Amino acid sequence: MATEFAQHFVVSLMGTRFGGNAMSSGYRSAAHLKTLYVLMHRFIRAADDIERAGTGAYSPTLRDNAQDARNKLFNLLAEMPGEETYLALKQLAKEHPEELPALDG
């Protein structure tokens, strides 16, 4: 039940890749985006993501839209300039609920 609520919440907040409208942008600070991203990862786990690339046409499900919206949270954070964003990304590296892949270089 919590997972389904989280999926509906993040899709309502961020919209869909196919034009669903996003809600207010008042949450778009580095700290809020980081918190939302970590929270959504607890209920919309990357390990359960649906990979549909190269599988032909499909109609996205709530889960497809939720994983896209969760990823949009990170993209918004990563695109924000400033020290607050830098600090939020450093905290995210420590607090992320799933192990992140090592970066080369």
Distance CA 29, CA 79 (A): 11
- Report the alpha-carbon distance of residue 69 to residue 55 in Å, rounded: 21
pLDDT in tens, 72-82: 999 989 999 99
Please give the Cα distance from 76 to 98 (Å, whole number): 19
Nearest Cα residue to 88 out of 70, 105, 100, 76: 76
Q: How confident is the model at residue 103 (pLDDT cuts 50, 70, 90)?
A: very low
1-38 tens-digit pLDDT:
888 989 988 888 887 776 655 555 666 789 999 999 99
Please tell me the pTM assigned to this model.
Answer: 0.74
**CB-based contact 76:88 (threshold 8 Å):** no
| Domain ranges for the chain | 2-95
